[in-house]
Structure 1
Amino acid sequence: MTGLLYKTWEELESTFEHSFGKTTDFVKVPVMFNERKCWILYYSSLVGSANLSSKLMLPFSQHAGKAESLEQFRAAALASINYMYLTDWIQIARQLNKNSVCILVEGEYEALSIEIGGYTERSISEPEIQQSIYGPKIAFTESIETNISIMRRVLRTKSLQIESYDLSSDKVTGAVLVYLDDVIAPELLQEARQRIQRMEGKKVATLNHLLEGLRDDKKANFFPTLMINERQDSCVAQLLEGRAVVFMEGSPQGIILPAVFQDFFKSPEDAYVPAAMMLFMRLLRYCAFFITLLLPGIYIGVINFNYEIIPINLAIVIAGLRSNLPFPSVIELLLVEAAFEIMREGSVRMPKVVGNALTVVGALVIGEAVVQAGVVSIVVVIIVALTGLSSYAFTYYNFAFSIRLLRFVFIGIASILGIFGVFLGCVILFAYLVNQRSFGYPYFQMNSKRSLL
């Protein structure tokens, strides 16, 4: 659109309708500014009426009749309020969507935008996904300004840098790149800037859209190469290791870049416990990784192909439990896995008050019923339960979800090739991880901190 310099006052009414449509929360108030026509523009859904009255309308009634220019009025009545002068309608639309108020005066070449605020934001709360026993109970919110404030409360240093970017084509959706300029590697910072700039002007509605744009390539990845984090202490620790964090307006999580394989085995409380305890807990997570990924496939391989590798007494017990079952072992295992995944998904959608209780009761009732009915064996129920519990050992949901999906791949390979298929799948997966990179850094490196500093 053309700038305000080329708009006559009579054309403003049609300009409003063309720029903002007929949305009912767009408010345009006609007033007089020292015998000149004036419009006050804002969204009622973003600007609180109390703030509008006290910060603008009252000073306007006292000073607008005496001011010779918009700048003179601002200096006299709005000196303590953040402001910006705008020269085109794209800038006006952008500021209005940031809970600002714009003032247009007949004969003035620029519009005055002032920050009023007043809409309700979600308060800072505890993390809901990445919970921990120790450490601060502070999670990010949907506001970029609040998230930056949360970071600055801990990192009180001039080296903490914030770079702002406009992602959407209408320059309404914003993102910020946060880093420590005396710690981050220059090549990592340059690569991060280039990838974010690559997203400018595109339709970026959710954090996942931004995540896809920041990835190294457009190929499907078995494991996430970027980390989504909702905790203040975790993001601060990553910045101190020489990484960067990206926040997007409207998302209560940050994207940590780069992220390597071993990062997903860390937990927020690792920094608050003795080294021996931290090492033990991390080893447990690695064990949980192999149990979640391989245990069902190993069971299928042993039962169908390589039963001779287990003790004879155990083989007799398993054979007795599997006698008279109606389904092959693969179908039996997949049915129980599917039932467990459905219960897991249902527990997420249920109200919190009844979700946990119904999940536990449902698992007990269904598990007992299918075993008593002779549909599945108790061994399969135990394996699926152990596998499902192991998947909860990881604090990063995307990583745990990737393991759960790959588990079905190993089940399929084991049903065809047995234990050899499980071993072959492990070799292929290892080769894949070794060849993966995250922002140029090897994905399977064992010491990410040393490589990033």
Structure 2
Amino acid sequence: MPKRPIHPKKQINRTKESYHESVENLPPHEHTGVPIEPDVKVNLERIWLELGKSDDLVIREIRFERSELVAAAVIYIDGLSDSAIVNSYIFDVLKYSLHGNGEQDGDAVNKTVLAEELLHGIGSIHTVPDMASLYRNMLSGEAIILLQGSCEAYRADIRQWKGREVTESTNQTSVRGPRESFTETLRINTSLVRRKIKDPRLWLETISVGRVTKTDVTLMYLNGIAKPSVVDEVRNRLRAIDIDGVLDGGNIEELIEDERFSLFPTIYNTELPDSVAGQLLEGKVAIMVDGTPNVLVVPSQLVAFFQSTEDYYQRWIYASLLRMLRFISVFISLLLPSMYIAITTFHRDMLPTSLLISLSAQREGVPFPAFVEALLMEITFEILREAGLRMPRAIGQAVSVVGTLVIGQAAVEAGIVSAAMVIVVSVTAISTFTLPAYSMSIPIRILRFLLMGMAASFGLFGIIMGLFVLLLHLCALRSFGEPFMAPFGPFAGSDNRDSILRLPRWFSFNRPSTAQPSNRTRIRKRS
């Protein structure tokens, strides 16, 4: 029940001076527990000063008839709120309730009560208990309504700002399947998933993260399918974040992941709504951050980074072959330069005689050993790739492709590197692009250099030892308490129906046990 307003003519218990004395010692931007005063003018003055008299702060006042006393005020941020709704709807309600036939001061209390009752009858308007909530909601694009004599304010959800339209993803492209991708607007992102999962069990929880930015972070999961302990763990980690600002989902990912010093990402991120919807159906939890088009999904496994959404939109035979090709490409990208270094440096007897003679002839004029040769080419290609990403799109792609060809050809003609090394580095770089998840290609590129150093030092033995340590590290990783290497370690036979191979839909009756969903039944068997 709303609190009974105080008569405007009665003495207000706390005057403007006493109010400022009570809040003058507060730390900047800390208003938790600061009450909303019944005098509208006191609240308006504080808001005006706290926001530094900003030009985009809009304050509209309504006064009692034949009186200088402010009866109500509407406050909003220009550019974040829809001013047309304020002018055509909210003001009409306030004027109707505050400008009735009665013009005597004694009717002011009844008018304020009527205004509160009308506001409570509007579904999109809710109460604001204190100044901290007032600032948070106002700076999120909502309009704040203050009534004379009321110790509560009201917020109207009229958020409207310019945002990017739903377009095709530029980072995760697919040949077959939906083309839409997430945007920077949180509510649009949640609606894209709602369109695909029309079930009341799809629950959303919004948490404000960041002492200064107050960024909205939405937790999304299917109740009854997602594991409750995982949902609780995600919620607790988000609420435990104490930072001044969150500007992207990467800030959240870095603060809640299990292994903070591992090269491998243990949290999956995607721009595709259908990918999020598919993983929610498997019992996972999605984390959406306002202001970023990337959605985080937990818990995650290594195999998820090799899967593409279009694998599930085409025949299972094609999808299985393409998925196997991705695994082979990753091994090529990781091991090809180091294998070349190890064989040409320590194990030349493994090569056929004709190939050995050809490689030796190519390396006659090269002044560097194979390791230095590979290192120079790999670093050069990484520089060109990074330059292609940062340069304007009109010339970025041309520079990365043409620059690689020109520099490679010039290096061979100058005798700095051999032609075989250019081929090895080119095939290695192209293999990296087969991964659907860009976040997984980065650790592969870093580990490539480490394995090259092991190969130059110990040959094939160094490569084997490096792979052994890498496998142990992957098996030790956890994603929100769940094994990162599942379903391979620990081994789950039923989950391997959708790991390296994607078996037919009618063969996968249960959801993967990697996320330990509460309800594992996916397809009911025919009787």
TM-score over 0.5 for the pair:
yes
Look up the match of 1:20: 51
In structure 2, relative to structure 1, the CA distance for the partners of 1:183 and 1:13 (3 Å cut) is: closer
User: How much has 1:245 moved relative to structure 2?
Assistant: 0.5
- CA deviations on 1:238-295 (whole Å, 9 max, x unpaired) are 0111111010111111111011111111111100111111111111011011011111
What residue number does 2:60 align with? 29
Q: For the residues of structure 1 that align with 2:54 and 2:381, how far apart are their CA atoms? A: 46
TM-aligned CA deviation for residue 72 of structure 1: 2.8
Q: How does 1:92-241 map to 2 (within 5 A)?
A: 92-170=134-212, 172-199=214-241, 203-218=245-260, 220-241=261-282
Whether contact under 8 Å (2:38, 2:150) holds in the other structure is no
Shift of 1:80: 4.9
Match of 2:86 among 11, 36, 52: 52
Tell me, yes or no, if structure 1 residue 450 matches structure 2 residue 513. yes
Query: Which of 387, 394, 403 pairs up with 1:346?
Result: 387
- Contact kept? 1:19, 1:89, Cα under 8 Å: no
| Displacement after TM superposition at 1:303 (Å) | 1.7
Identical-residue share of aligned pairs (%)? 30
CA positional deviation for 1:54: 2.7
Name the CA distance, whole Å, in 2 between partners of 1:435 and 1:164.
Answer: 32
Structure 1: unaligned runs, 5 residues or longer? none
| Cα gap change, 1:50 to 1:416, in 2 (>3 Å) | same
Counterpart for residue 99 of structure 2: 65
- Tell me the distance in 2 between the aligned counterparts of 1:64 and 1:370: 82
- The one-letter amino acid paired with 2:379 is A
Give the Cα–Cα distance (whole angstroms) in 2 for the partners of residues 51 and 102 of structure 1: 13
Instruction: Go from structure 1 to structure 2 and tell me whether the alpha carbon gap of 1:237 and 1:353 turns closer, same or farther (over 3 Å shift).
Output: same
TM-superposed deviation, 1:61: 4.8
Structure 2 unmatched ranges of 5 or more: 1-30, 101-107, 496-511, 518-527
Between Structure 1 and Structure 2, how many residues are aligned? 452
Shift of 1:237: 0.8
| 2-structure distance, mates of 1:5, 1:434 | 54
| CA–CA separation in structure 2 for the residues paired with 1:200 and 1:412 | 40
Alignment deviations for residues 316-363 of structure 1 (CA, whole Å, 9 cap, x no partner):
111111111132222221111111111111221223233223322222
For the Cα contact (< 8 Å) 1:63–1:77, is it kept in 2?
no
Offset, 1:190: 2.1
State which structure, 1 or 2, has the greater radius of gyration over its C-alpha atoms.
2
What does residue 303 of structure 1 align with? 344
Q: 2:369 matched to 1:328?
A: yes
Runs of 4+ that moved beyond 6 A: none
> Which structure: greater helix fraction?
1
Normalising by structure 2, we get a TM-score of 0.81
Residues of 1 paired with 2:220 and 2:145: CA distance? Answer: 33
Q: SS state of the match for residue 153, structure 1? A: helix
- Determine helix, strand or coil for the equivalent of 1:127: coil
How far apart are residue 9 of structure 1 and its match?
5.0
Q: Distance in 2 between matches of 1:316 and 1:133?
A: 44
Closer, same or farther in 2 for the Cα pair 1:360/1:64, shift >3 Å? farther
Q: CA deviation at 1:296?
A: 0.8
Aligned CA distance change for structure 1 residues 201 and 346 (closer, same or farther; 3 Å): closer
1:364 shift after superposition? 1.9
Taking the aligned partners of 1:91 and 1:33, their CA distance within structure 2 comes to 27
Which one of the candidate residues 30, 34, 37 is aligned to 1:3?
Answer: 34
Q: Does 1:418 pair with 2:459? A: yes
Root mean square deviation, CA, Å: 2.2
Once the two structures are TM-superposed, the CA of residue 17 in structure 1 deviates from its matched residue by: 4.5
Q: Cα 1:71–1:381, aligned 2, differ >3 Å: closer, same or farther?
A: farther
User: Whole-Å Cα distance in 2 between the matches of residues 201 and 79 of structure 1?
Assistant: 38
- 1:90 maps to 2:132: yes
- Cα distance change of structure 1 residues 74 and 390 upon mapping to structure 2, 3 Å threshold: farther
Distance 2:302 2:259 in 1: 17
